[in-house]
Structure 1
Amino acid sequence: MKRSLRRALWAGAVVAVTVAAVPVTTAFGAGTVTTTFTKAQDWGTGHETRVTVTNGSSAAISTWRIEFDLPSGTTISSAWDADITSSGNHYVAVKKSWAGGIAPGASFSWGYNGTGAYKAPLNCTINGAACGGGTTPPTTTPPTTTPPTTTPPTTPPPTTPPPTTPPPDTGGKKVVGYFAEWGVYGRNYHVKNIQTSGSAAKLTHILYAFGNTTGGRCSIGDSYADYEKAYTAADSVDGVADTWDQPLRGSFNQLRKLKLLNPHLKVIWSFGGWTWSGGFTQAAQNPAAFAESCYNLVEDPRWADVFDGIDVDWEYPNACGLTCDSSGPNAFKNVISALRSRFGSSALVTAAITADGSNGGKIDATDYAGAIGNLNWLMPMTYDYFGAFAAQGPTAPHSPLTSYTGIPQQGFNSDAAIQKLKSKGVPANKLLLGIGFYGRGWTGVTQATPGGSATGAAPGTYEAGIEDYKVLKNTCPATGTIAGTAYAKCGSNWWSYDTPSTINGKMTYAKNQGLGGAFFWELSGDTTNGELIGAIKGGLG
């Protein structure tokens, strides 16, 4: 059933809104301090704001305190790199204990996620002085502190984990997205694009795909992309270029930088996938040895702070994918148990699994429910049900939410998979609904509605029969929906894919079913302003 698509987004603009340039009091040095509120992202139901404090005075600032009001309909739901307190719509932000003073001419940035659309703060003061525009400063005197004898870095050191505040508006639901390591090549898609597109603020977890399993051991998938590639300042998450002698480069170092900018974000290293699942058969013969190899790799001192756990994408235990496995129904459960034992209770251990809900299908081949106690969540891959791997058709949506009259295979839909897993004892809140950020298509099609015949795969940018949503929304706009997803016929080509509207419907389903959230393959298929991930986030809110 499943033909795993493992593929890679560009960047959006940042709109800056300068709130004020304010005079500082004598206690904080002569000159001015500029406080700038920057609207980094706005997805309607929420937004991300970046705040920069720049010391334009002639003396170092040992502490700072910003007070401001937010207009009605806007609240702060999470913040990073500053301590926030509030009373009604009035907010106070003060320097973190680990953040040092700000030298003359230097800046410090912090940020917050807010509910509602972005609105510029009002009545801003910094260190007791008016932020400008004639606003009267408060009568309270800002606290004074003894300047430190040394100036610590303005960001926490890598050994100090940042606070783990989830992004807003998802009701505690998970928003999990894949980053494909090979995207740094032909697609020119890098970790920086997760930040500049606004996706980082909307994600709760990133799955880094993939590590290899050859020989029944966890191993590096692509050392150059993973930790050797040198990044220029222009392509780096924080605008700082790699040096030839630094101990860690590549996507791993970029992910480290991304996490510092987004303290709520967790990163999980995913192993296997369609191409590299063959090694799981040998792993199942000695789960403890497999788990030991995975732990040693994920927790390698060079990047141990980057990853928060491990994901298993075994396609498919006791069934056939690229190769066939006959390890038995307990193999998956045993491998997961060994991983949990080795990684411990605090690490994330997750798995992407089949979404074949047919009678006697791939879900029935493995004891997934028996493994759930050792997993944080399961991700049934509720996409790729149908496609031009059946070259003659019939045309059908590759990610139907429900069954429909004329569906080519009973049980090949999201709801069938979810209901089967729940009936076997998998808790709903440990299931995430899968979304594809791409379409599957045929050519040689004459019938506009699903069920038509075809002559082969429709042309695609990187692979025949597959195309990104960001392309299809313009080249072949959706003309109809069926079973909760969209389809379109353009000339002789017929495509099915999810749109923001159909994703919203799927998120309503996920909430109604009590699911733990949603995941998607993968980041590069979305538009530069993150339409699809915005729909996931907004729909789960």
Structure 2
Amino acid sequence: MRFRHRAAAGFATLLLPLAGLVGLASPAEAAGSATATYAKTQDWGSGFEGRWTVKNTGTTALTSWTVEWDFPSGTSVTSAWDADVTSSGTHWTARNKSWNGTLAPGASVSFGFNGTGSGSPANCKLNGGSCDGGSTEPGDSAPSAPGTPTASAITNTSVRLSWSAATDDKGVKNYDVLRDGAKVATVTTTSYTDTGLTAGTDYSYTVQARDTADQTGPVSGARAVRTTGGTTEPPTGDKVKLGYFTEWGVYGRNYHVKNLVTSGSASKITHINYAFGNVKNGQCTVDDTYAAYDKAYTADQSVSGTADTWDQPLRGNFNQLRQLKAKYPHIKVLYSFGGWTYSGGFGQAAQNAAAFAKSCKAVVEDPRWADVFDGIDIDWEYPNACGLTCDTSGPAAFGNLMRALRSEFGENYLVTAAITADGSDGGKIDAADYGGAARYVDWYNVMTYDYFGAWDRTGPTAPHSPLTSYAGIPNPAFNSAAAIAKLKAKGVQGGKLLLGIGFYGRGWTGVTQSAPGGTATGPATGTYEAGIEDYKVLKTSCPATGTVGGTAYAHCGSNWWSYDTPATIGTKMAWAKAQGLGGAFFWEFSGDTAGGELVSAINNGLS
């Protein structure tokens, strides 16, 4: 968002250091000859980066420039570049360097700074006059955002867009229409017909208002449009095939959205859960803003083959997901909140479910990426039970939360939840009203994995994702079939249940027995965490030696691992179809091989 404000005419008595008066244009001269605009280019929570741009809009050269503004108490500049920045209390002054003060007509220059606090600049002055190049009347602010465009008359090559008007204290002059973030037209009305489009292609439209002083306001919400015609979308059948994409995977795992394309997985899935948003102070929030929407991608790293620029409105995973959806229009993306680490915030959220739902929709519908997400997924581990922490919200809390989300998001968004697969009597499924809450969700992701693992250091060894019970299983209720049966008994339709698959294995070391049920001395070594390893590693480092309960296991040296293979996934998908389930989901993409063989097994098994 940009902030441009006029200074009051009565500020003429403002005292400046003598050096600051050198080369100042008079307010009347400055008013029609130059503008200064501000943008917050980065925000990392504890600080931010700001940028001012000075532009000569006159007909004669500008020989120097000074920008002044006020920050609220608690917001300040900590370092700056390409300008000399000083302060007096909360009033800040930036003067040109010796080498960037002269601006020819039409030329512009920018300077930046790092700051702390959350405030925005106000009372901007450029060379003693207005920062927007207009008169020095007080109170001329930038226009508001127009309404999110609506789309009609969509054809193979065109679409008509309409939007509600923006407001401005001095009047709106025109609107910039942006397609996929680039301006395609400037119009004086609140509608526009975009032509020359490609058939069967996805586009994203936003609108930005401009006032009589040529100030631009914030962009509107985004409207996704797919033109008619074109090639037929990949056949997906009637089953959901959903994978989790982890926000942090872009770091140590070096797994990016483009990997979904190069692995061939993008054409074989129907949905992606982007994990995870955080839950803080009873509200949804973006977790890692750098990975989510600021990380820049080079041309060879990006889905579109186009490099990110330093000043584009959206970068990072969100922009890559936008590009993925343009390339594979059948894919829907949900923003998943919570997970094992961030579920501690749901208890507070449940105390005011309506406010929580409103905060979540504000994140999902943020104008910068509103066209990226098609719904929300809640991963509360676990309502009225224990996960990383213990929740005591009561059995009705989960249902109240899901009801509020459905009410806020409406029927045009997907609302889903990842839930426990504890099929034991009095266990986690019994702790919350999953049956009653099912009426508000499109489906449940039943986490039918992590039943057994090396948190029990000495074993007994057991597959972490058994499909069915078997002789000697440590807990007969810890298997997929038991969980699905219990949920159906609570009234959840099979079509609203997705079977969970782990793209990883869990293992022990110090094991001498090949068959399940052996003793161990502790967790086996893993690449990122003891006791857990990706399938893509295990398939060659410790190949499967047997199958039990519908899941593979392997004994190599002193290590014992269990994991799903393409063959066992095939068995599980056939079982899911026979049970009338809605499909399957998996955690998570980066555990698969470079060729996406586990995703292929899910797709083949459900097609």
TM-score (normalised: structure 1): 0.72
Match of 2:259 among 175, 193, 198: 193
- TM superposition shift of 1:163: 7.3
- 1:157 and 2:157 aligned: no
How far apart, in 1, do the equivalents of 2:425 and 2:194 lie?
70
Structure 2 match to 1:97:
157
SS in 2 for 1:284: helix
Structure 2 match to 1:379:
445
Structure 1 match to 2:334:
268
How far apart, in 2, do the equivalents of 1:362 and 1:423 lie?
15
CA pair 491-347 structure 1, distance change in 2 beyond 3 A: same
- 1:439 and 2:505 aligned: yes
- TM superposition shift of 1:410: 2.3
Structure 2 match to 1:364:
430
Match of 1:333 among 395, 399, 402: 399
SS in 2 for 1:212: strand
Matched-pair contact (CA < 8 Å) for 1:177–1:206? yes
How far apart, in 1, do the equivalents of 2:225 and 2:453 lie?
43
Matched-pair contact (CA < 8 Å) for 1:429–1:514? yes
Cα offsets for 1:419-438 (capped at 9, x unmatched): 00000100000000000000
- TM superposition shift of 1:298: 0.6
- TM superposition shift of 1:252: 0.2
SS in 2 for 1:274: helix
Matches within 5 A, 1:100-115: none
Structure 1 match to 2:306:
240
Gaps of 5+ in 1: 1-94, 100-147
Matched-pair contact (CA < 8 Å) for 2:156–2:197? no
Matched-pair contact (CA < 8 Å) for 1:166–1:265? no
Matched-pair contact (CA < 8 Å) for 1:163–1:264? no
SS in 1 for 2:459: coil
Structure 1 match to 2:214:
none
Matched-pair contact (CA < 8 Å) for 2:445–2:500? yes
Runs of 4+ residues deviating >6 angstroms: 163-166
* Structure number with bigger Rg: 2
How far apart, in 2, do the equivalents of 1:160 and 1:396 lie?
47
How far apart, in 2, do the equivalents of 1:400 and 1:376 lie?
25
Cα offsets for 1:168-227 (capped at 9, x unmatched): 2x5310000000000000011100111111111001000000000011100111000000
Structure 2 match to 1:134:
none
TM-score (normalised: structure 2): 0.64
Matches within 5 A, 1:455-474: 455-474=521-540
Matched-pair contact (CA < 8 Å) for 1:166–1:204? no
Matches within 5 A, 1:12-51: none
Q: Percent identity?
A: 70
How far apart, in 2, do the equivalents of 1:161 and 1:267 lie?
16
Structure 2 match to 1:25:
none
- 1:536 and 2:582 aligned: no
Structure 1 match to 2:472:
406
Matched-pair contact (CA < 8 Å) for 1:310–1:349? yes
How far apart, in 1, do the equivalents of 2:553 and 2:433 lie?
35
Matched-pair contact (CA < 8 Å) for 1:353–1:381? yes
How far apart, in 1, do the equivalents of 2:234 and 2:322 lie?
18
SS in 1 for 2:369: coil
Match of 2:285 among 194, 198, 219: 219
- TM superposition shift of 1:265: 0.4
How far apart, in 1, do the equivalents of 2:445 and 2:566 lie?
21
Structure 2 match to 1:177:
243
RMSD between superposed Cα atoms in Å? 1.7
Matches within 5 A, 1:110-125: none
- TM superposition shift of 1:97: 2.7
CA pair 486-163 structure 1, distance change in 2 beyond 3 A: farther
Matched-pair contact (CA < 8 Å) for 2:506–2:531? yes
* 1:411 alignment partner AA: A
Matched-pair contact (CA < 8 Å) for 1:312–1:350? yes
How far apart, in 2, do the equivalents of 1:163 and 1:264 lie?
13
How far apart, in 2, do the equivalents of 1:274 and 1:466 lie?
15
Matched-pair contact (CA < 8 Å) for 1:98–1:156? no
How far apart, in 1, do the equivalents of 2:314 and 2:468 lie?
46
Higher relative contact order (CA 8 A, sep 6+): 1
Matched-pair contact (CA < 8 Å) for 2:569–2:601? yes
Gaps of 5+ in 2: 1-154, 160-192, 205-222
- Paired residue total: 398
Structure 2 match to 1:210:
276
- TM superposition shift of 1:162: 3.0
How far apart, in 2, do the equivalents of 1:505 and 1:315 lie?
28
Cα offsets for 1:361-417 (capped at 9, x unmatched): 000000001111110000110000000111111000000000111111121000000
Match of 2:374 among 295, 298, 308: 308
